[in-house]
Structure 1
Amino acid sequence: MQIDVVAAFFLFGAVAQLLRAPIKMPAGLYQTLTLFLLVAIGLKGGISLASHASIALLWQSLAVIAFGALLPFVAFPLLYYFGGLSRVDSASMAAHYGSVSIATFAVALALLDSSQVAYEPYFALFVALLEIPAIAVGLWLARSDNSAHNPNEVVREIFLNQGVLLLVGSLLIGFWAGSSADKLLPFFGTLFHGVLALFLLEMGRVAASRIGSLRQYGSFITCFGVVMPLIGATLGALLGLWLELSIGGTILMATLGGSASYIAVPAAMAVALPQANQSLSITASLSVTFPFNVLVGIPLYSALISHFMA
């Protein structure tokens, strides 16, 4: 499978870090790139949603929410019973793998665009919907430890953290503005692939810098970081088929199912489950699952789904 040119920048960043080359992006620029990607995906999704809103989309959205609530229930027993993690650590990591990675989704979008594979243009709505249910289920799975702190702080962090707020806000603006927001697309559309390449360059460096942590947590976390995306992607593909999505839409749903959050969920879990080992979850999602999806998973999902749906 050929690596997409955008994904190659992730590999470049990882190799540079392993060679201890002096490539490090300023923190302010990294935050700017993150903001750009969230706004671009949300805005384009909102513009498309304005012309595609329907009862059918409502039912699809409810199915996606149920899907997001299901994934932590799949991940939790693997972590708790097979991995031997504590209940709170298992619940926290399950929430990470029930939620989504906006960067992984962006890579899948870039691959579909470069391959000229059509997909439902309102998919950003599904990304926003998948951010929330996994966090709620993760907190419920950890309930026996009485670990949740101030409920107001938890709710605020779930709904008002940067990732969710920017994505949902941009989606609503695009939906409200409709076609009049097209004047922003020369900026958020034309520059999307270039910004994503720079973002992945830094992500490759960060992911490679955490490889040493895998020795601390053992081989199970590495195996889980590969197996769980395959399970989630399979369930996502089945959901896409059930919802009668296009080939591109089914690939995106598989990608969302196979991804793991390392932005929105860690922020929420740091408030809700402060005693959980957040480093464990971030290492698995960022140093194992994200590279696997970018370099292997997304091309694999795309090839298999395209073959069987063609």
Structure 2
Amino acid sequence: MNLNLLIENLTNPALLFFVLGIIAVYVKSDLEIPPNSSKFISLYLLFAIGFKGGQELSHEAFTAEILWSMAFGLAMAVIVPVYLFFILKQKFNIADSGAIAAAYGSVSAVTFVTAATFLEMKGMALSGHMVAIMALMESPAIIAGLLLISIFSQKERTTGNRAVLRHSLTNGSVLLILGSLCIGYLASAEQAQGIKPFTTDLFKGFLAIFLLDMGIVSGKKINTLFKEGWFPFAFGILVPLVNGSIVAIASSLVTADTSNRFIFAVLGASASYIAVPAAMKIAAPKANPGIYLPMALGVTFPVNITIGLPLYFYLADNFMS
């Protein structure tokens, strides 16, 4: 892998703000982002990436490659939580195994946004249909995880399947990015130009502040994993790197475009810490958020944005399946 690519990513200001957040926790600083501001920035990032993706999608013709890419993404969202569940079941109870599997089968919108910025730094465009694929991958993984909990344990009952489906589709992050995607698709180029200062010019600044907040949250959550031993850390480091590397190469079956294969790898490697915890809190209350949330946010997220992004890009750019 190109060392310059890794160094370039490690010196990205957005990533350095994430590190600053972790440092703030360990030096016991009172630095914090107000909860309402953090929520607004989260919504802004989802809105901006969805709207810009919709604009890109409006310029694309629906081809066989796009349809196969969507099928590939949906297949990932089902296969990943199923195979991970059987690994996790050796170490955790059924509810926790299902919740962790759902988190790692689903996707992280913030990791996706960071990957889009990574592409922009390289002068490469994000295809609009990849935004749609990212949004579509949230729900299947959540449903798969909850169904696995229901199938393998009578004691860890979840809510009805209809309620699970409804919540996974109406979850705020899923609804906003899908809605923004549709609005961006319908808006003309002239109409989109009117809000470009908000959707584009401010984007990197808001991303840096949001990652600062994520660093603070990660620093606070990571300590809860230590009592679980080495396994959650090994899982949170190795699984995304393995999944992302396999997908970076295997995605060449559906697309030859390096940027799309890179985004597929990021989607395969990332873990949800927004949509899945929200769904599990309602549908699988016995699953412990003190395990799956810090694994996704405190371990996998920093691994992906430091080592993962340059690794996946290198594989997507140099290897074909």
8 Å CA contact 2:20–2:215 kept in 1: the answer is: yes
Is 1:220 the counterpart of 2:226? The answer is no
Counterpart among 131, 139, 142 of residue 132 in structure 1: 139
For 2:170, the aligned partner's letter is L
Partner of 2:272: 261
Provide structure 2 residue ranges, at least 5 long, that are not aligned to the other structure.
1-5
Superposed CA deviations along residues 219-273 of structure 1, whole A, max 9, x for unmatched, are: 1000000111012202321342111242122111111110000000111111111
4+ residue stretches of structure 1 with deviation over 6 A? none
Identity %: 36
Counterpart among 3, 13, 34 of residue 21 in structure 2: 13
For 2:172, the aligned partner's letter is Q
Greater shift in the superposed pair: 153-162 or 28-37: 153-162
Q: TM-score, with normalisation over the residues of structure 1?
A: 0.94
8 Å CA contact 1:6–1:110 kept in 2: the answer is: no
Counterpart among 115, 121, 132 of residue 128 in structure 2: 121
Partner of 1:38: 46
For 2:82, the aligned partner's letter is F
8 Å CA contact 1:9–1:201 kept in 2: the answer is: yes
Is 1:77 the counterpart of 2:86? The answer is yes
Partner of 2:168: 158
Aligned length: 307
8 Å CA contact 1:9–1:198 kept in 2: the answer is: yes
Distance 1:282 1:252 in 2: 23
Partner of 2:35: 27
8 Å CA contact 1:158–1:268 kept in 2: the answer is: yes
Q: Secondary structure at the match of 1:262?
A: coil
Q: Give, in angstroms, the shift of residue 278 of structure 1.
A: 2.1
Is 1:279 the counterpart of 2:290? The answer is yes
For 2:16, the aligned partner's letter is A
8 Å CA contact 1:119–1:247 kept in 2: the answer is: no
Change in Cα spacing, 1:71 to 1:182, as seen in structure 2 (3 Å) is farther
Counterpart among 225, 230, 242 of residue 241 in structure 2: 230
Partner of 2:180: 170
Provide structure 1 residue ranges, at least 5 long, that are not aligned to the other structure.
none
Q: Give, in angstroms, the shift of residue 23 of structure 1.
A: 0.9
Partner of 1:89: 96
Partner of 2:3: none
Alpha-carbon RMSD across the aligned residues, in angstroms, is 1.6
